[in-house]
Structure 1
Amino acid sequence: MSKTYNVGVIGYGLSAKIFHIPFINDSPRFALHSIVQRTPKPTDDASADWPNTKTHRSADDLLADKDIDIVVLTTTPDSHAPLATQAMRAGKHVLVEKPFTPTSSEAQHLCQLAKDNNVLLTVYQNRRWDADFLTLKSLLDDGSLGRIVEFETHFDRHRPEMPSAQSWKTDPASYSAVFDLGTHLMDQVVSVYGLPERITGFVGTQRQHNTTGLEDSFTALLHYSGGMLATCKAAVVSPEETQLRFWVRGEKGSFKKFGLDPQEDQLKAGLRPGESGYGIESEERHGALSSVMDGSGKVERRTVRPVESIGYTAFYEQFAKALDARDEKLVPVEPGVAAGVIRLCELMRRSSVEGKTLVV
């Protein structure tokens, strides 16, 4: 019989409630054992939401529990390295929410610590399991696009006003769009092509009344051997009815897609994995493939049906396989790759300050 792994979740914010607990509960391979919530409120109390689950006020109490196999970190990024270190030294496998760590040196240290303590470590780069990205990968794999020359991945929104709610994501000392959305976009590119040879970064703010210096937007150009250029871009001033998501161009064809994968919005609306309609995108949001017709030079355009996918559930299923085999090469996101993405974030910001392209 397959082992069921007991999971302890540290932090009880949006990430825990939307991106982790629904998938832990959806899988027969995992059991939600404990939650750390330091300051519950009458309308936000993990013990009330999950009465059959242990709740703690400190990470120390959770990590002392020998019944817990896996720790999921959903706390602010500055706490990831110390909490992951503490958890791995306690013999726990660790899943870290993105961004992995604030610095690549911390990320590399955690990679080594996992090896030293014979535990598995992975990072929640869940957008590798967006249906549109999986569809794009299938087109790359079957050669529909030919040799790729430009790969654009966007996360643009129209939010020209500064956020009113105060959180770590509005604190410029703690937050940068580079380490938030940038890790998603660059991870998708790196998961397909590996690290680039060079990077050019443009980081700053697009908001007119940004008195805090919060980095709300960026463009990263990833230069690959053979001439391919990958553009990763996030904007907060982009008044479009439907935002561009992907535009990938090759010698045989191009793939263009508008709108985000629906899973995040569905989860926020209360839909759960496995329920009817989960992960299914409306037809008007499907991407389009433009193909060069052999011999004629004409271009034919057709809508591409998304590949069948179980969405972010696949991340946890792959993690279970890695845990069964105790094989670090089977984790859904290798921590060394995630550390490389953090290095790209650092170089992007440095490139922007220095005004030059940097060697990776």
Structure 2
Amino acid sequence: MATLRTALVGFGYAGQTFHAPLIAATAGLELACIVSSNAGKVRQYWGEDVAFTPDINMVLADPDIDLVVIATPNDTHADLTQRALLAGKHVVVDKPFTVTLEEAKALATLEKQTGRILSIFHNRRWDSDFLTLSRLIKDGTLGRVTQFESHFDRFRPVPRDRWRERASVPGAGLWYDLGPHILDQALCLFGRPVDLWADIGTQRPGGGATDYFHAILRYADGLRVILHGSMLTADSALRFAVHGDSGSFVKHGLDSQEDMLKAGLTPGCHSWGWDPRPGQLTRVDANGTITATNHTGMPGDYRCYYVGVVNAIRGLQPNPVTASQAITVMEMIEAGVQSALTEHTVKL
């Protein structure tokens, strides 16, 4: 089948670090053009191998462009996705899908009207630790899960001068940046909760965007899902602490792929996606005997997302991350904001 010529819109951190190398490394995709206002940066990384334009209209009018990947600031996602769909392009948009639930629903309707594929880049479904944990839950190793704790913490006491950390930018702040990752993972594992409570705030001085969140999702069977993110956690290694009636799984350290990409390594290279820090699996047998072992788990691979996009466009498999799935994430995002503002639990 013909290679899908792909235009990447935006060459900031997400475009440069994640999308460009993953597109280039995925069979069936060609990184044909980058839309950015920073020609020097594009040429520094890609030379003359990839076409460059500062004008997205040139991409949207080009009949040879099949797929448009949007990796721009969050408050531009809805407009650019709408324009690309109306131009007849398939679209990948970085998370969060949009800034508001209303925008997300409108784009899902437009996807159906245009007959194009609209997919959202929830790449953390292909983290090594998440794939490992998913298998442990699915095969019953932990028994019935009663508590799921997911952390995405960092230590950056001084805010950076970028749109993600400016209070004046719609969709900025940690809840919109890292919240979608761990909300999507929780929804993949356990589905929609009964209700949600969230505390979202700003802890660093300077009046920047929110840099802290702590959310609790409650389920009818008693399960509690705890989601936490902070920019002021010096001991930020904890990733998962999951407990069931047959055992626990505790994992420290993030998936290695982002660091590999930042180092300029090619996706799929030696040791790609292998996690250097195994989790600890603690099990309790029928006699009450407790055993604790290191559990290395499965390798991660973000390329699987783009392979899924290629196959979905070719009609070979379902969309790897659908608009309806991302809409549910947006519902959780808005419920969290409402809960934090009202200081009440929000029914879903």
TM class by shorter chain equals: over 0.9
Q: Which amino acid aligns with 1:301?
A: A
Q: Which residue of 1 aligns with 2:7?
A: 8
Cα 1:48–1:280, aligned 2, differ >3 Å: closer, same or farther? closer
Q: Is this contact kept in 2: 1:160–1:206, CA < 8 A?
A: no
Q: State the 1:323 CA deviation.
A: 1.1
Aligned match of 1:125 = 122
**Moved runs in structure 1, 4+ residues, more than 4 A?**
none
Secondary structure (helix, strand or coil) at the match of 1:143 reads coil
Question: Which secondary structure state, in structure 1, belongs to the residue aligned with residue 314 of structure 2?
Answer: helix
Q: Which residue of 2 aligns with 1:36?
A: 35
Match of 1:256 in 2: 250
| Aligned partners of 2:272 and 2:299 also within 8 Å | no
Aligned partner letter, 1:68: I
Aligned residue pairs, count: 346
Are the counterparts in 1 of residues 148 and 224 from structure 2 also a CA contact under 8 Å?
yes
Deviations 1:60-119 (A, max 9, x none): 111000000100001111111011000000110000011110001101111110000000
Deviation of 1:134 (Å): 0.1
Judge conservation of contact 1:179–1:342 (CA < 8 Å) in 2. no
Q: What SS does structure 2 have at the residue aligned with 1:221?
A: strand
Residue 306 of structure 2 corresponds to 316
**1:197 to partner: Cα distance:** 1.2
C-alpha change, 1:308 and 1:45, in structure 2 (3 Å) is: closer
Residue aligning to 1:337 = 325
Q: Are residue 270 (structure 1) and residue 254 (structure 2) matched?
A: no
Structure 2 distance, partners of 1:213, 1:17, is 25
> For residue 287 of structure 1, what is the aligned residue in structure 2?
279
Residue of structure 2 aligned with 1:299, choices 290, 300, 311: 290
Unaligned ranges ≥5, structure 2:
none
How well do the aligned residues superpose, as a CA RMSD in angstroms?
1.5
Q: 1:49 to 1:271 in 2, by over 3 A?
A: same
What is the percentage of aligned positions where both structures have the same residue?
A: 36
Report if aligned partners of 1:35, 1:46 keep a CA contact under 8 Å in 2: no
Structure 1 residues 322-358: Cα deviation after superposition (integer angstroms, max 9, x where no partner): 111176xx11111111111111111111101111101
- Separation of aligned partners in 2, 1:27 and 1:109: 30
**CA 65–224 in structure 1, closer or farther in 2 if over 3 Å, else same:** same
CA spacing shift, 1:48–1:338, aligned 2, 3 Å: closer
In structure 1, the residue matched to 2:226 is 231
Q: Structure 1 pair 46/326, CA: closer, same or farther in 2 (3 Å)?
A: farther
2:71 pairs with 1:83 = no
C-alpha distance in 2 between matches for 1:326 and 1:317? 11
1:257-286 alpha-carbon deviations (Å, 9 max, x no partner): 00100110111011111211221222xx11
Structure 2 counterpart of 1:142: 139
| Letter aligned with residue 239 of structure 1 | A
- Gapped runs of 5+ residues in structure 1? none
